[in-house]
Amino acid sequence: MIIEDNKIKKQKALTKEHNPFLSASSIKNEDNYEKNIRPLTFDDYIGQNSIKNTLKISIEASKKRNTILDHLLFYGPPGLGKTTLATIIAHETGANIKITSAPSIERPRDIIGILMQLKEGDVLFIDEIHRLNKIAEEILYPAMEDFSIDLTTGKSQSVKTMRIPIPKFTLIGATTKAGALSGPLRDRFGIIHRLEFYTIDELAQIIKRTSKILNFDIDDNGALEIAKRSRLTPRIANRLVKRSADWAIVKGDGKITKQIATDALNALEIDDLGLDVTDRALLNLMINSFDGGPVGIETLAVALGEDIRTIEDVYEPYLIQQGLLNRTPRGRKATKLAYKHLNIKIDSSQLELPL
């Protein structure tokens, strides 16, 4: 059973409104659509093989020992499958999962309430765990280590602390920013995994799986074209296949071919490397207004009208992975490849500078 906080649903709806890939009508259907295509078992979860293999061993070992699975932390860029893995683990261990997100845990009683409601063997999933406040973190420490919470009663001189046992549970934390997690919290996770970008081939498999579930007619080259432009990210692959299916129905005979996918994605201004309007605006800004950099992230954020976190978490990881942007101690720099991709000549005075 999956229980999701209303606050998280609201937050998700908000981020979706800012997503350039989603049309207004698709936002309403997104929740159902996500539910249908989210893998429920390791067999359906494509790629991330080394993580899957070590997780399967940990799950089997905990079953054989008849103990609870260690607390797990997943980190990596958005849309790579952290939440999905948490739900798969719950499913594969037969546990109930309670889903919450750190920003919705404001007061001590929020986290205490969540912990007290847990049942033996439950999985507690905390998304964006790096945003947990200090008080909530401190309540979580004994809960993670000793399965107990320390409650204080009374005021000033008569303050008493009571240690209350809670059922044994597995905490799964997810974050796009492992570096922002406090040391003591990170140390309390027995298993830590970084999710990697997917290969084009894995994305093509994900696209074909999604198409099958949603009854889209797609050929291998159509799947490959969408895969190439999906920023190596399953969530984006799933959105783009949906947009391509719309295009196939309206402009073609219903089948997603290479041509249909190309036309659909071009119309969305997603280029052959998967960059969207904002990615290109970011690189253009660095090149045209700052001679390619180095330029500080704060300056870029203001000039682009985006917040720093979105640039760092959503845009940069893929641009860095593609070798289009470098992070240096003095700021961000566009690489030679970025000039080439945008068809911009490097002016001769720049040539001596290492880009």
Q: Does 262 bind Mg ion (CB under 5 A)?
A: no
* Catalytic annotation present for 84: no
Partners of residue 150 on adjacent β-strands: 163
One of 176, 244, 322, 335 touching ligand ATP (CB under 6 A): 176
| Pattern 47-66, ligand ATP, x by CB under 6 A | xx------------------
Question: Which residue in the block uniquely carries the two structure tokens 């001679």?
Answer: 291
Q: Which lies closer to ligand ATP via its Cβ, residue 293 or residue 317? A: 317
Q: Under a CB-based contact definition with an 8 Å cutoff, are residues 167 and 175 in contact?
A: no
| Pattern 108-147, ligand ATP, x by CB under 6 A | -------------------x--------------------
What is the nearest approach in angstroms of ligand ATP to the Cβ of residue 214?
11
* Catalytic annotation present for 309: no
Length of the chain: 355
* Catalytic annotation present for 209: no
Catalytic residue among 82, 229, 231, 332: 82
What is the nearest approach in angstroms of ligand ATP to the Cβ of residue 78?
3
What is the nearest approach in angstroms of ligand ATP to the Cβ of residue 80?
5
Interatomic CA distance for residues 216 and 199, integer angstroms: 22
DSSP for 106-162, written as a single string: -SHHHHHHHHHH--TT-EEEEETGGG--HHHHHHHHHHHHHSEEEEEES-GGG-EEE
How would you classify the pairing of strands 97-101 and 191-194? Answer: unpaired
Catalytic residue among 176, 257, 262, 335: 176
One of 82, 130, 231, 239 touching ligand ATP (CB under 6 A): 82
Determine if residue 13 is left, alpha or beta; phi over 0 gives left, psi from -120 to 50 gives alpha, anything else beta. Answer: alpha
Where are any strands of DSSP class E within the chain?
2-4, 72-75, 97-101, 123-127, 148-153, 160-165, 170-175, 191-194, 217-218, 255-256, 325-328, 331-334
Q: Which lies closer to ligand ATP via its Cβ, residue 81 or residue 222? A: 81
- Residue number of the CB closest to ligand ATP reads 81
Q: Which does 47 bind (CB under 5 to 8 A by kind): ligand ATP, Mg ion, none?
A: ligand ATP
Tokens for 94?
């037969």
Number of residues that bind Mg ion (CB under 5 A): 2
What is the nearest approach in angstroms of ligand ATP to the Cβ of residue 216?
15
One of 51, 55, 73, 83 touching ligand ATP (CB under 6 A): 83
* Catalytic annotation present for 93: no
Footprint (CB under 6 A) of ligand ATP, residues 183-212 = 206
Question: Which residue in the block uniquely carries the two structure tokens 């959503």?
Answer: 314
Q: Does 173 bind ligand ATP (CB under 6 A)?
A: no
Interatomic CA distance for residues 196 and 233, integer angstroms: 9
Number of residues that bind ligand ATP (CB under 6 A): 22
One of 100, 104, 170, 238 touching ligand ATP (CB under 6 A): 238
What is the nearest approach in angstroms of Mg ion to the Cβ of residue 277?
24
One of 45, 68, 71, 83 touching Mg ion (CB under 5 A): 83
Q: Measured on CA atoms in the order 124, 129, 134, 138, is the torsion positive or negative?
A: positive
| DSSP code for 7 | H
Give φ, ψ of 13 to 5 degrees. Answer: -60, -40
Interatomic CA distance for residues 98 and 95, integer angstroms: 10
Interatomic CA distance for residues 316 and 324, integer angstroms: 9
Which residues in this chain contact Mg ion in the complex, by CB under 5 A? 82-83
Which residues in this chain contact ligand ATP in the complex, by CB under 6 A? 34, 37-39, 45-48, 78-84, 127, 174, 176, 206, 234-235, 238
Active site residues: 82-83, 127, 176, 235
